[in-house]
Amino acid sequence: MRTSFANFLLVCLVLFGSAGICHGGELKKNFYKDSCPQAEEIVKSIIWKRVASNSTLPAKFLRMHFHDCIVRGCDASVLLNSTPNNKAEKEAIPNLSLSGFDVIDEVKTQLEKTCPGTVSCADIVSLAARDSVSYQFRKPMWKVLTGRRDGKISSQSEALANLPSPYSSFSILKQNFSSKGLSVHDLVVLAGAHTIGVAHCNFFSNRLYNFTGQGDSDPSLNSTYTAFLKTKCRNLSDNTTTVPMEPETPLSFGNNYYSNLKQHKGMFGSDASLLTEERPANIVDEMLVPGKFFVEFGQSMKRMGAIGVLTDNSGEIRKKCSVVNS
Ligand code: HEM
Ligand SMILES: *[C@@H]1O[C@H](CO)[C@@H](O)[C@H](O)[C@H]1NC(C)=O
Ligand SMILES: *[C@@H]1O[C@H](CO)[C@@H](O)[C@H](O)[C@H]1NC(C)=O
Ligand SMILES: *[C@@H]1O[C@H](CO)[C@@H](O)[C@H](O)[C@H]1NC(C)=O
Ligand SMILES: *[C@@H]1O[C@H](CO)[C@@H](O)[C@H](O)[C@H]1NC(C)=O
Ligand SMILES: *[C@@H]1O[C@H](CO)[C@@H](O)[C@H](O)[C@H]1NC(C)=O
Ligand SMILES: *[C@@H]1O[C@H](CO)[C@@H](O)[C@H](O)[C@H]1NC(C)=O
Ligand SMILES: *[C@@H]1O[C@H](CO)[C@@H](O)[C@H](O)[C@H]1NC(C)=O
């Protein structure tokens, strides 16, 4: 018993560089079965209603969940507002397009009415990511385990230190994912999330205008596509214009990300980097097999959704998702 706990802490140390963010408890299927049987249905119905009138939301929730999990585990730290003494994750530059907070608040308000103090904000974020993407298919696209609890800390500097950069090479991204317990396979599969949503020009305009500092463009970007993107992003400093990450089907969740990549239309340097080594490039090819991406994405989301979770008596169940309980 003692040995296995020691081993467990060792695994935590190796994976996360800290024993403190592992808490031993496990997520469960339908955690709220007895305490709030309607919980998952309430989340789904509000999310579907909102997505029905705003098709940009699935990308917002998918990215929100990723950012939450990558910074101090999936603990809803991404939802906390700054306070006079603390700049929260929301203030970090890569937050740029984070939104949908009002929808999370609507879900939370309804859940507090039905089952006060029971359902965590961290679980709402994880369910919202699944349910929003699933609306297009009218059925749940992957399983979400629940039982996460909410953290009490959110920090701008931690967000900056943990969110992977769109300029990174494959070997850097590999290390960044591995430090969160995610494999190269998870990296390539989860990157497929860029099948939906938009990006601000400044995250990739170096590839259009000044790739090596000679006023040149990135030779690994499809030149037809480079010309098209230049008509959208007019200069290097444009940080207000957004462009769909998939030119043809920006709202449709599917494996087109990988066929786009193969045509050298990956938006960021980080996307393009997945073709620079054999191992990730082979996984890209695998994802082109019909049906494969959906299965793999669900499995990788399950691993992402378990990063550093707080369970049992750790953390708290926030009353309001944007502030810690007093
Ligand atoms: C591999 C490392 C990754 C990097 C470097 C990266 C970087 C970025 C950047 C820079 C943006 C544009 C944000 C903006 O301009 O507003 C973006 C958008 C997005 N990312 Fe990632 N990302 C990565 C992985 C992921 C993962 C794992 C997911 C989810 C599972 C994800 C989901 C999204 C979504 C859905 C959007 C579109 C957001 C919107 O439409 O507002 N990304 N990403
Ligand atoms: C993102 O950060 C900026 C400051 O860097 C802040 O003004 C903005 O409110 C933040 N966005 C969200 C959604 O909190
Ligand atoms: C859809 O949601 C996004 C993110 O919250 C918001 O910025 C946008 O204004 C909404 N669009 C409509 C038409 O309501
Ligand atoms: C990514 O990994 C590199 C190499 O280990 C490291 O220097 C960098 O700080 C990491 N970045 C993030 C966001 O984790
Ligand atoms: C392009 O990059 C070079 C080297 O970093 C820099 O000196 C130059 O000012 C950049 N050009 C523009 C338009 O920003
Ligand atoms: C760059 O483009 C943006 C958006 O079109 C514009 O607002 C800005 O003035 C331009 N900046 C420069 C230095 O040309
Ligand atoms: C966009 O660029 C302008 C001018 O460089 C800067 O003042 C502003 O803070 C930037 N906005 C964001 C969201 O990065
Ligand atoms: C560039 O994109 C076009 C379609 O827009 C495609 O036909 C072509 O094969 C692509 N080129 C490369 C080198 O991938």
- Show the tokens assigned to 227: 């010309």
Please, what is the end-to-end C-alpha distance for the chain in angstroms?
36
CATH number of domain containing 144: 1.10.520.10
Q: Which of 13-27, 77-91, 134-148, 181-195 has the lowest mean pLDDT?
A: 13-27
pLDDT, residue 93, reads 74
Is there a single domain that holds both residue 101 and residue 189? no
The reply to whether 24 and 160 lie within a common domain is: yes
Residues 103 and 38 in one domain: yes
Residue 105, domain member (yes or no): yes
Atom 10, ligand 5: residue with shortest CA distance: 213
Is 110 near ligand 5, meaning CB less than 6 Å away? Answer: no
State mean pLDDT over 298-325. Answer: 98
Q: Which ligand is nearest to the CA of 92?
A: 2
DSSP string, 33-70: TTT-TTHHHHHHHHHHHHHHH-TTHHHHHHHHHHHHHH
23 annotated ligand binder:
no
Range of the domain at 131: 20-164
- The reply to whether 200 falls in a domain is yes
Whether residue 97 has pLDDT greater than 90: no
| Domain presence at residue 319 | no
The ligand 7 atom nearest the CA atom of 239: 1
* Angle at alpha carbon of residue 64, lines to 195 and 19, rounded to 5°: 115
Rounded distance from Cα 228 to ligand 6 centre (Å): 17
Please tell me if the CB atom of residue 270 comes closer than 6 angstroms to any atom of ligand 4: no
User: Does residue 67 fall inside a structural domain?
Assistant: yes
Locate 318 and state its tokens.
């926030």
Cβ of residue 91 lying under 6 Å from some atom of ligand 2: yes
**Average pLDDT of span 40-58:** 98
User: Which tens digits make up the pLDDT trace of 58-79?
Assistant: 999 999 999 999 999 999 999 9
Report the pLDDT averaged over residues 82-94. Answer: 90
Residue 276: inside a domain: yes
- In a mutational test of the pocket of ligand 2, which residue from 81, 87, 90, 239 has the highest number of ligand atoms less than 8 Å from its CB? 90
**pTM of this prediction exceeds 0.85:** yes
